A and B are shown apart, each in its own frame.
Chain A
Amino acid sequence: MFGTYLYRELSNRRKQTAIVASGMALAIALVMIVNGVAAGVRDAQSAVLASIYGVGTDITVTTEPAIPPEGEQEQRQQPRFEFGADDGTTQDGTTALSQSRLVSAVGSTTFDSTALNTAAGIANVAAATATLTLNNVSFSGEIPNGGTSSAPDSEPGSAPEGGRTGPDGAGGSAFSVDTFTVTGIDVGGESVGPLTSVELVDGRSFDDGDVDANVVILDVDFATTSALNTGDTLEIGGEEFEVIGTVTSVSADATTASNTYVPLNTAQRVSGIEGQISTIYVQAVSSTEIATVQSSLQAALPDSTVKTQEDLASSVSGSLSTASDLVGKLGTWLSIIVLAAAFLISVLFTTSGVARRTREFGTLKAIGWSNGAVVRQVASESLVQGAIGGLVGVALGLVGIAAINLAAPVLSANPAVAAGVGAGGGPGGGRFGEAATTTVAATDVALQIPFTFGIIGIAVALAILGGLIAGAFGGWRAARLRPAEALRSVA
């Protein structure tokens, strides 16, 4: 009887069922899409961040750049190239000069590597590793024979006597400055850190024997544009490094964190920044411990900046950030409003339905139906209406998600990289000053909404919740109907 009555009521009150189910479907679909987009944006942010901070990194420790002491500013921010009188090779009246320096990246600050041991010793830290982020700046050029400076009585850059044309074709000099990023990696600490977000394309990764070796792993794009292969050599900081492998980002949407990777000890030695690191990457034993570990790290390393992935996500700017804000604020509120409206419509229709059916429920009670049976009937009708809305909503939501995935809107992300953390800039070949901009990597990310049963679960749960709320209101009203009053009120 229960099933028959339920079916008859819903099928004979199609208009009401359609309105309630439609409202619920719209709300459910919207919630699914907003949730899906939020998950997609989170994934995109994670992909962008993972390319910089590595997969599995929960917390990073850096130090904020400080204003250098008077007189050291020039020295710290710009590498200085000094050539002796006999440096370079001379041919056809032109001297070719070349020098490379490995220097701390602009905007980054280093700190004592003992902090790594401190971080690793914090409770609930699963893994910790350190990196040193550097820039290799290469100066190369040709100057007319006669020295590295113009004659005292001549204007700078003017053609030398005799009318000889210099390397620039006008008697002057020609120079170029190339820059690429170099990240010193703790060879034994690959479970967390930048190398966890890359995969080997060619050659090999670091092993324990590479701790102090002049070996380098290249980003595959950098290797391609620099015409370098495994087995070739690359000059870094004035020393020859053997290319032992090439890597690429595991994410199709993001670049690697650095153009080149070298062992940490080697990076410290060649750059002359002994015993210094620029970032510590920390992995907590579980996601629930991240906040605790962050607090402990901050307490143990009071001069450091300790950031979680969540903090780092907020540093991502560009349209990805706009999308995140839009989803987080407008989308969430819109979902809540539509959901509340759908619930309200469902409740109003159910309670007004009970009012309209006063005689019906009064009669049922008069012929012996218990209060519970009447309430169950009313609540079940609402529940089924909610479930129908939920099913239609899930279908609509999936269509919406598929449409967004098909369109794959491209979002740009500009992670504001924490001081000391390297980011893969364009492969080398810049000019002076360009190093400052390579600390921020702009990445285009195609938004893809992940399909998860969790989203469907949320949708179905909301539909059931809506039905239950409406059913509870309707059932409560039906339960309060006394049969005599119900029959009298319609007499």
Chain B
Amino acid sequence: MYELTNLTKTYETKRGTISALNNVTLSIPTGQMVAIQGPTGGGKSTLLQMLGALERPTSGTVALGDDVLSAMPDARLAEIRARTIGFIFQGFNLIPTLTAQENVESALAPLGIARTERIRRATEALTKVGLGERLNHHPMELSGGQQQRVAIARALVKEPSVLLADEPTGNLDEQTRDEIMALLEGLWRDEGLTLIIVTHDSAVAKRAERRILLKRGVVTEKK
């Protein structure tokens, strides 16, 4: 369960101070599927980075279960990201020189898992997302939808409790978007994940149990 209390994040720029999040207090129960919507520059990605232990707040706290992320050292945050949180990015963010299987394996490397076990789990994860036949393909040899499936497999292979997706269908056509969303929904249900999706797309947001609107750094619940 996520607990965000009075969370504020500001950035200093040449044009002055930008307030990305403004005193956000939010609770997300374990296993919930949440969509975060809002205009560009509203603070959606910043909020996702706080949830993903990638960024520290200027003030306030972020807690994931018993772990207060905002107060942890970098090394411990890296450990939590390695074990507990899975990420999916709009641009897929696959490593171009590695094959699909190796990309998925890269998420297991920080856990110190033996190579044979890594290969087994990566193969299983790719098969689960429908890419069992594309294990040795490089990202450039895959379509956008397939690349996002590899990214999903990479996020899920370590069996995280939280899956954070930043515009996961932003670079995909409608049909592929629906396929990816169907896949994510299926995994959410089957794995019992907490799934938090940042999206501009209302069609994607409507699939979520809960919708949060983030405007100028302020959270508003959407019915």
Contact = CB atoms under 8 A, between A and B. Distances in A.
A154 interface: no
A13 B98 CA distance: 12
Contacts, number: 90
A367 B98 contact: no
A8 interface: yes
B54 A4 contact: no
Interface in A339-382: 359-360, 362-371, 373
A38 to B, nearest CB: 42
B221 interface: no
Given A366-B54, A366-B81, A484-B54, A8 B110 contact: no
A362 B54 CA distance: 10
Nearest to B85: A368
A357 to B, nearest CB: 9
Contacts of B106: 1, 5, 364, 367, 369
A487 interface: yes
Given A4-B102, A8-B102, A371 B78 contact: yes
B89 to A, nearest CB: 7
A237 to B, nearest CB: 86
Interface residues of B, number: 35
Interface in A1-51: 1-2, 4-5, 8-9, 11-13
A15 to B, nearest CB: 13
Question: Which bracket fits the contact residues of A?
Answer: 20 to 34
A4 B110 contact: no
Interface in B141-161: 154-155, 158
B18 interface: no
Nearest to A8: B97
Contact of B82 (A4, A362, A363, A368): A368
Contacts of A5: 95, 97-98, 102, 106
A364 B94 CA distance: 9
Given A359-B91, A484-B54, A367 B154 contact: yes
Interface in B99-136: 102, 105-111, 115, 118
Given A1-B118, A366-B81, A484 B55 contact: yes
A483 interface: yes
B93 interface: yes
Interface string B20-51: 00000000000000000000000001000100
A12 B52 CA distance: 31
A488 interface: yes
B97 A368 contact: no
A373 B112 CA distance: 12
Contacts of B97: 5, 8-9, 11-13
B78 A365 contact: yes
A359 B93 contact: yes
Interface string B58-100: 0000000000000000110011011100110111010111100
A396 B47 CA distance: 56
A365 B79 CA distance: 10
A483 B85 CA distance: 14
A369 B78 contact: yes
B74 to A, nearest CB: 7
A491 B93 CA distance: 10
Given A368-B107, A487-B89, 20 more contacts: A1-B108, A1-B118, A4-B105, A5-B95, A5-B102, A8-B102, A359-B93, A363-B87, A363-B95, A365-B54, A365-B81, A367-B86, A367-B107, A368-B81, A369-B110, A370-B75, A371-B74, A484-B49, A484-B55, A491-B90
